[in-house]
Structure formats: C-alpha cells, structure tokens
Amino acid sequence: MADTKPKAPPVAKTPAAKTPRGGKKEKKKRGPSRNYDLGNGVYRFSRTRMYHKKALYKFIGKKTKKTVKPIKPRTIEKPIGGEKNGGKRIVLIKKRRNYYPTADKIKKRPTKKCFSQHTRYTRPTMTPGTVLILLAGRHKGKRVVLLKVLKSGLLLINGPFKLNGCPLRRISQNYVIATSTKLDFSDLKVPDHLNDKYFKRNKPKRPKKEEGDIFNQKKEAYKPSEQRKADQIVADKLVNDAIRKRPDKKHFFRYLTAMFGLRSSQYPHRLKF
C-alpha cells in the first residue's frame, strides 16, 4: 500500500556565508563572559563550578611532547685546492659586514616637539563675546570681554578701555573666571593683525661700552604707539556696538564698570557666575 502521510515541504537551503575578496574570513565577535562579578569580588559561578564547566579535568596529567627545532648550521666546510693550503676551509654561511660605523646616527624623534608646536586647549566656556572676571594682574577684579583665542593659547580681552580702564591685553585662562553672560559676536569681526606678534615688545640693544656709572641710566617707561591707540578705539567700538544691541544695555554698561569681590560668608565654589 502507498503511504497516505503527507510529505513535508522541501526545506530551502540557506546560502553559505560569502568570504570577502581577500580570502580572509571575518572574525566572530565574542560576547560577554558568563562568569561576571556580582560585586565585592563575588562571582556568578564558583571556582569548582567553572572547573566542571570548562572540563578542566580532561586535561589533568596530559603532557605535550616537546618539539625540538633543528639547529641550522652557521658554517660550511669548503674544499680548497693546492698542496700547501690545507685542503679545506670553514666558511660562514651568513657573512659579517665589512664596515661598522664608529658612531650611531642621530635619529629624528617626531614625538618631541617645541613648546610653540604644542596644541592649545581652552575651556569650552571660553568663546568670543564671553564676559570674564580677571583674578590676577593690575586689573584684577574687573569684568572684561573676550575677543578671541590666540594661537599661543592666550586670551585676547578688552575692557572696554573707556568703561573700566582695561585696554587690549593677553591673559592666560588660568587667571580668569568665565561667566554665563555673553555678547553676540556673530556679525563682528576682530582685525587679523591683533595676534601674538602684535603684542611682542621690541627690546633695545644694550650699548657695548659707555662712560659713567651704569646705575645712573634710567629705564624708559612704556608708552603706547599711535597704532596701538587707533586699534584700541576700534576694539572699544566693536564691544560697544554689541552691547547697544541688547535690551538691557544700561544695566550691562554698569555691570562691566562694577568691580568683582567676595563679601563675608561668600565662597567662590558655591557661586554661579
């Protein structure tokens, strides 16, 4: 009699995983360990449980035979003709160099960089237009406006000079507190010539020999040049124009002229700037 049972449908064959063109199979990613730390050094499985899970008992007493690699010969015996030459010579397979330098070559070390080549990092709160509080220098306690971050990592700040007497200066971010108050500097552009080279002072050369006492010579006091004065007016105008766009411009002008200080029972780590 013929079988009355219905036949099972044919199973579709899944295509085999294709290997990449290079011929190398992709490595399978390993998942997390089964025996993980539950806390305070207590693991999910004990040592005896893991001993049986790993089937370590199968490998007890088994020793693998030590394979001894054949030692390659360093020399070869070569026959030599002639009656008085000994008939043979022992020659090295890999000949030694004929020349050895007397001094080691100086290698270039790319990891060593000068201080000027180091990358500068500033805090994310230091953006152009941020109001800063100075903590050091002759202008400490004043509120100033950050114009831009220079290539050396120093901050270019301005008072403005007409409000609180702080001119265009450079200062490190270590001596500054960044506040949450900011000006909109999106439309304003600081002149490109205001860089680190602009603030470099020219030191006059000392004369070789002069008559008289060296202590009688007076040092010349610093005087700003006409270019510095003109740039100060431009920088003040940039800041003042940004302040006048704000609805609270009257209070903002007073805010920049006021000095910062801590009263009794005030602590800087508790304040929100």
Domain ranges of the chain: 121-199+249-257
Residue segments in the chain with a per-residue pLDDT below the cut of 70: 1-25, 206-218
CA 132/CA 170 separation, integer angstroms? 13
User: What pLDDT shows up at residue 109?
Assistant: 75
66 phi, psi to nearest 5 deg:
-75, 125
Q: Which pLDDT value is given to residue 107?
A: 82
Q: What is the pLDDT at residue 7?
A: 53
Report pLDDT for 1.
46
Structure tokens at 200: 């470099």
What 8-state DSSP symbol labels residue 106? Answer: P
pLDDT of residue 99: 87
* Exposed e or buried b per residue across 86-96, where buried means at least 16 C-beta atoms within 10 angstroms of its C-beta: eeeeeeeeeee
182 with 130: CB under 8 angstroms? Answer: yes
Q: What local confidence, expressed as pLDDT, does residue 159 receive?
A: 87
* Per-residue burial over 115-129, b = 16 or more CB atoms within 10 Å of its CB, e = otherwise: eeeeeeeeeebeebb
- Supply the pTM of this predicted model: 0.56
Distance in angstroms (rounded) separating the CA atoms of residues 239 and 162: 11
pLDDT digits (tens, 9 = 90+) for 215-227: 556 677 778 889 9
Question: What is the maximum alpha-carbon separation in the chain?
Answer: 138
Give the number of other CB atoms < 10 A from CB of residue 197: 9
The answer to whether domain 121-199+249-257 has CATH 2.30.30.30 is: yes
